[in-house]
Chain A
Amino acid sequence: MHFEYHVESGDFINAGSTSSAVKKTLKQLNVDSSIIKRTVVALYEAEVNIVAHAYKGTIYVDIDQEAITIRLVDEGPGIPDIDKAMEMGYSTASPSVREMGFGAGMGLPNIKNNTDRMSITSKVGVGTTVEIYNKLQ
């Protein structure tokens, strides 16, 4: 199964809609609920990072018998130092984004903790790709 979703910068109202769509799909496929929860937590964080930090992006979701693979490809400022970005507490979120309760610098660590595999590739001034992989059984 393959799905695609689009995400726009600053669109906090719809942030999370991809995660809930994927959650519904995985539920219909009778995937174990703890795997569903881990997957949608990771996806939500990655989705919100596009809304908060990039300009726009596309989310590609692939599901087969064994696993779910999600690629979030954005156009944005990119991440100069990925190791630093992965650190708990590191955040460049703007004041207005922080006011909403984002910007704890825990999103990427949450993704790592809730996936079997994750990877980030990024080019400064171009954009970032986050890949999330979870086994479904």
Chain B
Amino acid sequence: MTVKEVVEKLNFKVFSGAEGLQNEIIGGYTGDLLSDVMGNAEASHIWITLQTHKNVMAIATLKELAAIVLVKGYKPEEETINQSNEENIPILGTDEDEFEISAKIFNLLNQ
């Protein structure tokens, strides 16, 4: 499933990195501890988190993640947005919390 399809089905806001909306998603990881994500997320995963600073993009870039979802209305910082646009890794937003949105994404991916 592409990032774009997930955005449309779950009504996500697209903050940045729109050129990466065609990225393919093969799974996901949820977490706010950066080195946990670094150690356990895989390439082409969608990452659900509430962290908004630039190191989030460093991890997404190094791990070649498909997209990032910020939960509970959190917004990315300006530097995070800039790197997302450079790397074409979309940052998405939702008002829901990590539990709810992880479950919804999981169900979508496993339909």
Report which A residues bind B (CB closer than 8 A). 12-13, 15-16, 19-20, 23, 37, 40-41, 44-45, 48, 100-107, 109-110, 113
Contact B58 A106 (CB under 8 A): no
With A37-B63, A100-B53 known as contacts, the answer to whether A44 contacts B32 (CB < 8 A) is no
Q: Which B residues touch A44, using CB under 8 A?
A: 38, 58-59, 62
Contact B61 A12 (CB under 8 A): no
Q: How far is the CA of A102 from the CA of B59 in the complex (A)?
A: 12
With A13-B79, A15-B58 known as contacts, the answer to whether A102 contacts B34 (CB < 8 A) is yes
Q: How far is the CA of A16 from the CA of B33 in the complex (A)?
A: 16
20 additional A-B pairs beyond A16-B61, A106-B36, beta carbons within 8 Å, are A12-B54, A13-B79, A15-B58, A16-B62, A19-B62, A20-B58, A20-B62, A23-B62, A44-B59, A44-B62, A45-B38, A48-B55, A100-B51, A101-B32, A101-B33, A101-B49, A101-B51, A104-B34, A109-B39, A110-B39
Q: How far is the CB of A36 from chain B (nearest CB, A)?
A: 9
Report which B residues bind A (CB closer than 8 A). 32-36, 38-39, 43, 49, 51, 53-55, 58-59, 61-64, 79
Contact B34 A101 (CB under 8 A): yes
Contact A20 B61 (CB under 8 A): yes
Q: How far is the CB of A35 from chain B (nearest CB, A)?
A: 13
Contact A37 B34 (CB under 8 A): no
Q: How far is the CB of B38 from chain A (nearest CB, A)?
A: 6
Q: How far is the CA of A23 from the CA of B62 in the complex (A)?
A: 8
Contact B54 A107 (CB under 8 A): no
21 interchain pairs, CB-CB under 8 A:
A12-B54, A16-B55, A37-B43, A37-B64, A40-B62, A41-B38, A41-B62, A44-B38, A44-B58, A45-B38, A48-B55, A100-B34, A101-B55, A102-B33, A104-B33, A104-B35, A104-B36, A106-B39, A107-B38, A110-B38, A113-B39
Q: Is chain A's interface secondary structure helix, strand, loop, or mixed overall? A: helix
Q: Which residue of B lies closest to A17 (CB)?
A: B58
Q: Which A residues touch B79, using CB under 8 A?
A: 13
Q: How far is the CA of A103 from the CA of B51 in the complex (A)?
A: 14
Contact of A106 among B33, B61, B63, B64 (CB under 8 A): B33
Q: Which residue of A lies closest to B36 (CB)?
A: A104
Q: Which residue of A lies closest to B33 (CB)?
A: A104
